[in-house]
Structure 1
Amino acid sequence: MVDLLIAARNLARNRRRALVALLTVAVAATSLILADGFIQWVFWGMREATIQSQLGHIQVMRPGYLSAGAADPYAYLLPENLPQRGEIESTPGVKLVAPRLSVTGLISHGETTVAFVADGVDPQKQKEAELSKALRIAEGRNLAAASAKEVVLGRGLARNLDVHPGATVALLATTPGGGVNAVEVEVAGIFVSTNQAYDDSALHLPINLAQSLLRVNGAHVWLVLLDDTERTDDYLAQFRTRFPAPENKLEFVPWYQQADFYNKTVALFSQQMNVLRLIIGCIIVLSISNMLVMNVLERTGEIGTLLAIGFKRTKILYLFAIEGLVLGLAGASLGLAIGYGLAELISAIGIPMPPPPGMEEGYTGQIRVTSSVLMNAFLIAFVTPVLAGLYPAWKASRLPIIDALRHNI
């Protein structure tokens, strides 16, 4: 504590210079919190949108469906009466288990016919609401009942067909036996997702209607929605243990295994954030080392006196190095307080963002401050001044005693 107090008093000799160095570290820490927090919010938003609109936390399917299901999807259907579905849904921490039946075919309105990809969904109010949080109904309403002959279209698909809620369209699909089946349905609503390409060709319809159109029973996958995304791997291991694949003929696939766009986006933005951390670290090192070198030059006579009365060079090195530690500790702490406060304020106001590639609508961004964001910012703001102080401290400890004492004359 005595050494820390001495280091603080030495830094306070030139208060303007010390204040500039302190603010440099604090601003750097604040910038890291805001930048990293925004990137983490983007990751979180993409993750939750992917889970809640397409994949769920865990997908349950027949083994081999992902590799061979595209060629023969009807050979991998899950029967409706499998008891494992109820056992999974009754597991503590599981919100719901919802079936999904994939349908492809043609949709027609008037003289216009285009291809579509569809998901047969369970239109129960709770299940559909939980799994459609990332889908915004832009016009009309969502699906209402399992027995209703109605669909909700992506906005791009509705625009291509020139239809609005209340219009009647025809769905045409190929059955497993090679026949063709068609059904007329009403457009209940039009949705917008986070993926414009998906909106251009996608629609949702009740799973009962999808089964009738394809003349099949069951579903391709069950989407398992959990209370906590962070525990996906825990539940995945639990389900694989309770329902081994050879015996139950079930395969459990986590959401991130199929979220290719999300995984690549995280890898890209993480590399960019590492570059930003490196740049800010270099700025801190250059600023603090310049300040501490000036301190060494101004106190050359004192260093000579200390060496002359018997102080070891290692002690001199330690005294100057601890000044960098004090700057880092004070600046990092101040930066964390300012950064956290600004992050909360900015999140409360919101950050208006333009539509990103692949989307038609903008969004309101926020700053997501997590323990890892705060820890990374603190470590960089604390460690870099300590490293910056090593060279001036070494330079001070290597001064020749005679040359240093001449500065007192």
Structure 2
Amino acid sequence: MLYKLALRNIFRQRIRSVVTLVAIVFGVAGLILSGGFVKDIFVQLGEAIIQSETGHAQVFREGFREKGSRQPDRYLINDPGPIAARIATSPLVRDVSSRLSFSGLLNNGKRDLAVIGEGVEPDKEARLGTFLKMVSGRTLTEADTFGMIVGQGVAQSLALQVGDQVTVLVNTTGGALNTVDVEVIGIFQSFSRDFDARAVRIPLAAAQELLATPGANQLIISLHQTRDTDDALAAIKAQLSGSGLEAYSWKQLSDFYEKTLQLYDRQFGVLQVIILVMVLLSVANTVNMSAFERLGEFGTLQALGNRQRDVFRLILVENTFLGLMGGTLGAVIGVALALAISAIGIPMPPPPSANTGYTAMIRLDVANVATAFLIGVVATALAAIFPARRVSRTELVEALRQRT
């Protein structure tokens, strides 16, 4: 009986109900859209880092992460082939490639530039590096024995173009100086402007010849699915136990990603609180006015034998029903808007320290939609508690006087 009466009251007070529903729908849909937008930022930023720099995980000698950038020759994996083959047996792993890091000078015949280089396996890197945009020329292939691709910043600093001959000067692992002449076959642009300002890549075989070593500094693991990173990392660590090697995931290797994640998590948390307060105030105001106008009706209910707590429950159930209706409508509208916006795309400017913009979308997530729905329902129910309590405790005589 209580539920039937609550539903009848909702449809009888149409204007008030519509105003309340609009506030709930706006809040729920706003949470779905903003949450989906933030999630897309996380996904696209993560994929950009994975596919242009880190891979899903990396294996290297203990201490390389802290000191390897300054002394990469001291942290070599002398025979990376068997280790890579063992890691590649996992069904989660798509590719395992080797990288040999070096630092040195790049000379164009007129001036030098300090660069940070990598010897890579071209075919495997091509499958991983889908976020590397070739501004000019082409990417490396296995046939490019002495070819090089350079970051856009490097090319601008040395005025390099595709086809130019440059000389790389480095210290070998034995401490001697060595040089190699290479041809610039491509100029790339990655996600990071700082990376492009110093980065060059040559084939792994050329880097090993340049540094006079058969080893590599890093094994780059590429997975079929990014969501399998934690499981794959645990399996890799178990394989490497006691070998003097360590493995890290892309999140652990990217301090920028973790800080960005924390920043947007805090911002989205504040947004959720703002929307919750907005719904609470809107609904509380509407319920308060409606309850005051219906004070005589509630007095009549008490005169007919209903207790104060019955009136309280009636108001609370009415608003819970409104919350369920508004939450459902808001979820449907939010999902529909998310699909429509994603189909069109949202052009975004380059993030800080990045080179290129991207097209954002609204990523639908079951947890995000469910959370937005629950916030709409709970906020509406909470907003009704104070007005319901005040009205239900009004003296019977005072309530009946309002009816006249």
TM-score after normalising by structure 1: 0.95
Structure 2 regions of 5+ residues with no counterpart? none
Which residue of structure 2 lines up, in the alignment, with residue 206 of structure 1?
A: 203
- Alignment of 1:155 with 2:156, yes or no, is no
Q: 1:80 deviation in Å?
A: 3.2
- Alignment of 1:334 with 2:322, yes or no, is no
> Distance between the aligned counterparts of 1:147 and 1:81, measured in 2?
22
Which residue of structure 2 lines up, in the alignment, with residue 219 of structure 1?
A: 216
Q: Which one-letter code corresponds to 2:146 in the other structure?
A: K
- Alignment of 1:366 with 2:361, yes or no, is yes
SS in 2 for 1:389: helix
- Alignment of 1:377 with 2:372, yes or no, is yes
Superposed, 1:8-407 pairs within 5 Å as 8-80=7-79, 82-124=81-123, 127-145=124-142, 148-244=145-241, 246=242, 248-407=243-402
CA RMSD in angstroms, aligned pairs only: 1.5
Q: Which one-letter code corresponds to 1:262 in the other structure?
A: Y
Per-residue deviation, residues 295-340 of structure 1 (Å, max 9, x unmatched):
2111111211222222122221111011221111111111111111
> Distance between the aligned counterparts of 2:393 and 2:369, measured in 1?
37
Stretches of 4+ moved more than 6 A in 1?
A: none
Q: Which one-letter code corresponds to 2:295 in the other structure?
A: T
> Distance between the aligned counterparts of 1:140 and 1:82, measured in 2?
31
Per-residue deviation, residues 144-185 of structure 1 (Å, max 9, x unmatched):
116510111111111111111111111111112222111111
Instruction: Answer yes or no: is the 8 Å Cα contact 1:328–1:386 preserved in 2.
Output: yes
SS in 2 for 1:176: coil
> Distance between the aligned counterparts of 2:132 and 2:70, measured in 1?
29
Q: 1:6 deviation in Å?
A: 2.2
- Sort the Cα spacing of 1:165 and 1:262 in 2 relative to 1 into closer, same or farther, 3 A: same
Instruction: Answer yes or no: is the 8 Å Cα contact 1:146–1:207 preserved in 2.
Output: no
Instruction: Answer yes or no: is the 8 Å Cα contact 2:25–2:330 preserved in 1.
Output: yes
> Distance between the aligned counterparts of 1:104 and 1:181, measured in 2?
12
Instruction: Answer yes or no: is the 8 Å Cα contact 1:323–1:389 preserved in 2.
Output: no
> Distance between the aligned counterparts of 2:284 and 2:141, measured in 1?
67
Instruction: Answer yes or no: is the 8 Å Cα contact 2:99–2:204 preserved in 1.
Output: yes
> Distance between the aligned counterparts of 2:246 and 2:43, measured in 1?
26
Instruction: Answer yes or no: is the 8 Å Cα contact 1:49–1:134 preserved in 2.
Output: yes
- Sort the Cα spacing of 1:232 and 1:44 in 2 relative to 1 into closer, same or farther, 3 A: same
Q: 1:50 deviation in Å?
A: 1.1
Number of matched pairs? 404
Q: Which one-letter code corresponds to 2:131 in the other structure?
A: A
Q: Which one-letter code corresponds to 2:390 in the other structure?
A: K
Q: Which moved more, 1:103-112 or 1:264-273?
A: 103-112
> Distance between the aligned counterparts of 2:80 and 2:68, measured in 1?
21
Q: Which one-letter code corresponds to 2:28 in the other structure?
A: A
Instruction: Answer yes or no: is the 8 Å Cα contact 1:281–1:380 preserved in 2.
Output: yes
SS in 1 for 2:356: coil
Q: 1:75 deviation in Å?
A: 2.5
> Distance between the aligned counterparts of 1:222 and 1:80, measured in 2?
11
Percent identity over the alignment is 39
> Distance between the aligned counterparts of 1:4 and 1:203, measured in 2?
70
SS in 2 for 1:144: coil
Instruction: Answer yes or no: is the 8 Å Cα contact 1:146–1:206 preserved in 2.
Output: no
> Distance between the aligned counterparts of 1:382 and 1:139, measured in 2?
54
- Sort the Cα spacing of 1:82 and 1:98 in 2 relative to 1 into closer, same or farther, 3 A: closer
Q: Which one-letter code corresponds to 1:24 in the other structure?
A: A
Structure 1 regions of 5+ residues with no counterpart? none
Q: Which one-letter code corresponds to 1:251 in the other structure?
A: E
> Distance between the aligned counterparts of 1:46 and 1:279, measured in 2?
26
Q: 1:73 deviation in Å?
A: 2.4
Instruction: Answer yes or no: is the 8 Å Cα contact 1:226–1:232 preserved in 2.
Output: yes
SS in 2 for 1:67: helix
Q: 1:42 deviation in Å?
A: 0.7
Q: Which one-letter code corresponds to 1:222 in the other structure?
A: L
TM-score after normalising by structure 2: 0.96
> Distance between the aligned counterparts of 2:82 and 2:350, measured in 1?
44
> Distance between the aligned counterparts of 1:3 and 1:119, measured in 2?
72
